[in-house]
Chains A and B, each alone.
Chain A
């Protein structure tokens, strides 16, 4: 079924935010059954518009709390969070099992008030552009882990928000699929530039994908080091400059 598209299919979605993300000495404490837990203490970071910022840190250092603050799902106890509207991509894909892949990707436009067909029309061109053509009608349980994360990422893009908060998006995948997905994400972000805050515990993932890497301390989390990744894209994981940066980031993590 060939048909001529009136607008070029490669055209990006045009999402701009003037602020990027600015987190200024934020503290966040939760009171639980075992007393108070301080997740973040004096955490600061900044991501310029269309910058890809990776945040690495040990487990439980408050990385997820940080993303929820940026997304406006929580408020800081002290400090400031200023950010353009942000959308969350959690570690688990959380695709709705009764919806097709296309309808899952089109979830945001659908809940924002578009008709089913109009929402699908938004998602369809992205399927072709990002390697999901032919999987539109598949149900989530028919897709591989990597495919599910692709659909989840398209759902995140289609929310139409300038900031993407990715919470260890590939942590649940096997090593090979993870590398494949990192290259895929790099390509997707080159085609659809966004301000990205990528939380990960994988230092290699951070240096391969990000413009800048922020290293966090164990709980209570705060930024202890910041590394600029100036290597040009597309990047190769074996690039000596990237390997050196990995070493630096690992050293910063251990020192924290």
Chain B
């Protein structure tokens, strides 16, 4: 509710500044131009949103699956953890803007480089938050499992993995946000569709309103995805909320 009011106030200020501030409309289109672009170009924008949305969703799924597997492996083997953690952090310092065009020339103009880049930016938050959640399981709980006759694998399956699911969700929520940036950068590096391509192309054509419309769609998509994920978490892990309240 408050968020809606803030957005409304910002749009109002933007509208006033763009109309009365003497800025060229090609540089800063007023919100009503963006809105009419959203409406007039809806078919074109919708098609490109589907492309970007597909890349984002698929990339997040790949990052979640790979992140969970790697986090479990690193949790089980301290050696692996020591070996991989620095590499993982180093992977986050790669300037994607610079590397994306190289990846596109290497992997082609299709889905592969986009998945790779989205996966790369989502992977880190997923692994780190899952790993932390796995490690936070009570030491006494692990002792108890041993005296109950549970093997290492059974404990991992029945205790540590379920405990880590809230962490996996936190990672996924961060990943949703960063994945958008990853997807747009990948598309700008070489693509014939997607909202990243729309932004590059529209800016070149001085159709700034359309570029802003694409940005607005991206933000909206991220917010919706985030909300869906939060709802899924509440539905799938009802115990995680009460547990958090209790501690």
Contacts and interface: CB of A to CB of B under 8 A. Distances in A.
Interface of A: 68, 71-73, 86-88, 90, 92, 94, 96-98, 107-108, 110-112, 139, 141, 155, 159-161, 165
A141 B239 contact: yes
A100 to B, nearest CB: 10
Interface of B: 138, 140-141, 143-151, 154-155, 158-159, 162, 237, 239-240, 242-243, 246
Given A87-B148, A98-B239, 9 more contacts: A68-B143, A96-B159, A98-B237, A107-B158, A111-B150, A112-B149, A141-B242, A155-B148, A160-B149
A214 B150 CA distance: 31
Contacts of B143: 68, 71, 73, 88, 90
Nearest to A70: B147
Given A96-B159, A98-B162, A141 B246 contact: yes
Say whether chain A's binding surface is mostly helix, strand, loop, or mixed. loop
Contacts of B150: 108, 111-112
Given A111-B155, A141-B239, A94 B138 contact: yes
B239 A108 contact: no
Contacts, number: 63
Contact of A111 (B141, B154, B240, B243): B154
B239 A107 contact: no
A94 B154 contact: no
10 contacts: A86-B147, A90-B144, A96-B159, A96-B162, A97-B240, A97-B243, A98-B239, A108-B150, A161-B147, A161-B149
B149 A159 contact: yes
A108 B145 CA distance: 8
Contacts of B162: 96, 98
A99 B146 CA distance: 19
A160 B149 CA distance: 9
Contacts of A96: 158-159, 162
Nearest to A158: B148
Given A73-B146, A87-B147, A141-B239, A110 B158 contact: yes
A107 B141 CA distance: 12
A81 B148 CA distance: 19
Contacts of B159: 96
Contact of B239 (A87, A94, A139): A139
A88 B143 CA distance: 8
A155 B150 CA distance: 13
Contacts of A111: 145, 148-151, 154-155, 158
Contacts of A86: 147
A72 to B, nearest CB: 8
Contacts of A88: 143-144, 147
A172 B154 CA distance: 29
Contact of A159 (B140, B147, B243): B147
